[in-house]
Amino acid sequence: MTTHKQIVSRWIDLLWLAFLVGLALLPPVREIHKQLILVAIGAFQLVEGSMVARLPARGRAYSVIIKILLATILLDHTGGMAINSSYYPIYYLPVVTAAVYFGPLGTLLWTFLASTAYCSLLIPALEEYELTRQGATELAIRILFFFLAGMLVNRFAVEYRRQVQRYQILSEELAETNRELRQVQEQARRSERLAALGQLSAGLAHEIRNPLGIIKGSAEILGRKLQGSAPLALELAENISSEVNRLNALVARFLDFARPSPLTRQPVDLRVIVDRAAESVRLQYPQSAVQIVRHYSNEPAEVEADEQLTEQVFVNLILNALQAMEGQRDAKVFLSVAPGREDGRRGAVVEVQDTGPGVSPELREQIFNPFFTSKKDGVGLGLSIVAKIIDDHGGTIQLENHAVGGACFRVFLPAELKE
């Protein structure tokens, strides 16, 4: 699709060619050298942009040099004495080009070289004519106008580049602000969902616990009465009791998710907490072949947090990483802990990264939702409880997918909790 910028560029090229055609048609029309040089100038002007793009380091200097040479050749083939040629303003072309491409010092240097090339045309004329005072004054005026034009154009070019740089910085700041705004909106939506589902879970959990207690008590009484008389019925009663225990454990997790977590605040070093969580997971899964790689900062990562709850956060995250890489060869979990800052707050950053398949983009926003899980036997409360604990601490958790594969949970906990 043709953009507005491309259309404007084509119109400028057409105008440029029209001006050169006008110069070529001026007397003497049959001067083939003049016309060929003007064609060369026009052709080079059209390909100059691509040359500069291909040679960013030297293309601009080559462009100015070629235009100085073409201007010198044009004056050498027009008029009796080249220095008096009516086409001398063609030297404005390399001067303006240098003013656009370079800074003030570069513009002065290239204008001096263009003026030197123009003055070199005076050498053959001095063999036959004497340079009068009036001629020297005329030559000086022309050269000074070269410098005036170069510095004037350079002033606007430098200001334009500054404006472009300001707009680029502003665009980057806006992009960063939009990214932060999206994160805040995502956290706000997650908090709203957690609050609503937490209230619902609390109500359901309390209502479910009462009939579960009755069912379990009835199953135990039934088992005692059937002891030794009906093995099948006794086995069924034991199944009922065990399933009730499983449901009770699930209800307990619902309540852990729903009720506010009482925080016992104290200064803790997250390096110790994360290391303890990793060892706890190792004890739970001693048969796991997953390698845990630690990258801890030499500086203390101290925050004010609940030691038990924060350990639960990192146990859940490491377990989640292990389960995501189940059956994978050369599986690794990378743990990094370091001091950090976020939104102007001092704290610590912990990253738990695995080498598993990662999380698809369509599931990224739902990953912290309660009861959402991609596991066959999962409940979908592990990451929800993690997010809730971190929110209670005033921190943030983000899911990032790495280009090398795997998912990375980035946790920030502030050094001081806000009341």
Mind giving me the DSSP string for 347-410?
Answer: EEEEEEEE-S----HHHHTTTTSTT--SSTT--S-HHHHHHHHHHHTT-EEEEEE-TTSSEEEE
Confidence (pTM): 0.51
Q: What are phi and psi of 283, to 5 degrees?
A: -70, -30
Domains 188-258 and 265-414 share a fold: no
Q: In the predicted model, is pLDDT for residue 270 greater than 60?
A: yes
Q: How many CB atoms lie within 10 A of CB 121?
A: 18
Q: Which two tokens stand for residue 67?
A: 């235009």
CATH of domain 188-258: 1.10.287
Determine the Cα–Cα distance for residues 313 and 385; give it in Å rounded to an integer.
Answer: 8
Which band of pLDDT confidence, cut at 50, 70 and 90, is reported for residue 1? Answer: very low
Pick the CATH number of 265-414 from 3.30.700.30, 3.40.50.2300, 3.40.630.30, 3.30.565.10: 3.30.565.10
CA Rg, the chain, in Å? 39
What does the pLDDT look like over 271-329, one tens digit per residue? 999 999 988 888 887 777 788 889 998 898 899 888 888 898 999 899 888 888 877 77
3-class DSSP assignment, residue 344:
coil
Beta-strand pair 265-269/302-306: antiparallel
What does the pLDDT look like over 325-355, one tens digit per residue? 877 777 888 999 999 888 778 999 999 988 8
3-class DSSP assignment, residue 302:
strand
Task: Tell me what pLDDT residue 332 has.
Answer: 86
Cβ atoms 37, 70 nearer than 8 A: yes
Task: Tell me what pLDDT residue 118 has.
Answer: 93
Q: Which two tokens stand for residue 32?
A: 């083939």
Mean pLDDT of the chain: 81
What does the pLDDT look like over 175-202, one tens digit per residue? 988 888 887 787 777 667 666 666 666 6
The domain ranges of the chain are 4-131, 188-258, 265-414
Task: Tell me what pLDDT residue 61 has.
Answer: 94
Q: Which two tokens stand for residue 21?
A: 């055609």
Amino acid at 151: M
Please identify which residue in the block is written with the tokens 């929110």.
Answer: 391
Residues facing residue 413 across a β-bridge: 348
